[in-house]
Amino acid sequence: MNTSTVIDIDQSQATFAKVDVDDPATFKHCFAEVNGIRLHYVDEGQGPLVILLHGFPYLWYMWRNQIKVLADAGFRVVVPDQRGFGQSDQPDSIDNYDISQSVGDVVGLMAALGEISAVIVGHDLGAWVAQTAAMLRPDLFHGLVMLNTPVPPRGKVKPTVGLKKMAKGRVFHHLYFQQVDKPDREFALDPRKTLRSIYYSVSGSAVGNERWRLFIEAGEPILNSFTEPKEFPSWLSAQAIDYYVDEYTRTGFTGAINHYRCRDRNWEITSFLDGAVVRQPSMFIGGAADPSIEPIEIRSVYDGLDTYLPGLQKKVLLAGVGHAAAEESAEKVSELLLEFLKQFKD
């Protein structure tokens, strides 16, 4: 079955109402003690549960355009700051950021909410957590959606070994993040410049040399691979950037980056998932202009998603959209999510 589609968002007929959702106070904010930490989350709507997991360097806030739309359509939408991010706790030990802890947070949050079934949606880092959760607990997670990051199967070698081979003497950002403290300090030196540069360079708005350079040379600072725009595109408002900057200025980047420092650990503790697949209904939404899927090794994962996700119902690449599809093409992502979620309504 050929489920792959490239969608030109300029031809989209989506008609969602424009709602000012950039103010975080618009949403219902909650906290729960789960899995040994205090987890912050937004909780909106009533109905079948949908859990939205953000990526890096984002927060629950990246889903602000989808939350109200899904809630208005009859779903309970729960959107946490993952551990190490935003208003959720930041455990000290790097081992506290492995995939078992992240999945445990979601499972614990569901228990705290009194829910026994959910569709789980993950972007970037959140896609890794969502896919693993769907594999480990198919009794809880009845559907899976991944945004922008096609998560590969476990593989036969440690991730850092495979990434070094892919980088061919250069440095991939997952490898750069294995350094303790250095990238944290570089990002935190000027959070506004860091976030504006990353959000822009990974997006479909960046062209030519402004686009994110996935591989840097040995010894080169990672921020060299991003470009700060003079003016930010309209899909991310000044108010939205301010919220991101304020949060990361307050928390720093260490907790967030610690998730990447567990790449090899995750591989080591999930040997029992070798060969596992997600059989639940699933969907992938990506950006055709996303620099992160350009390497042939990553593109091959996207091309082979049907193999890793035998329940895959659709995979789409949105034309002109980069790595933050939920923000760059908010209405189209909402439309695709609603199309997928309607099968869980009854």
Active site residues: 124, 323
Using alpha carbons, select from 79, 71, 25 the residue that is nearest to residue 48. 71
Using alpha carbons, select from 177, 135, 121, 128 the residue that is nearest to residue 150. 128
Beta pairing, strands 49-53 & 118-123: parallel
Using alpha carbons, select from 29, 11, 83 the residue that is nearest to residue 53. 83
* Burial of residue 23, with CB atoms counted within 10 A of its CB: 0-12 exposed, 13-18 middle, 19 or more buried: exposed
**CA distance linking residue 221 with residue 217, whole number of Å:** 9
**Look-up of token digits 């912050």:** 40
Tokens (6 digits) for 18: 């424009």
Using alpha carbons, select from 128, 253, 125 the residue that is nearest to residue 179. 253
Beta pairing, strands 171-172 & 215-216: antiparallel
Identify residue 332 by its one-letter amino acid code.
Answer: K
- Please tell me what DSSP assigns to residue 149: -
Angle CA(100)–CA(104)–CA(106) in degrees, nearest 5? Answer: 125
**CA distance linking residue 112 with residue 39, whole number of Å:** 11
Query: What is the phi-psi region of residue 74: left when phi exceeds 0, alpha when psi lies from -120 to 50, beta otherwise?
Result: left
> Long-range contacts: 335-338, Cβ < 8 Å, 24+?
335/12, 335/14, 335/16, 336/283, 336/285, 337/50, 337/66, 337/70, 337/121, 337/145, 337/285, 338/69, 338/70, 338/73
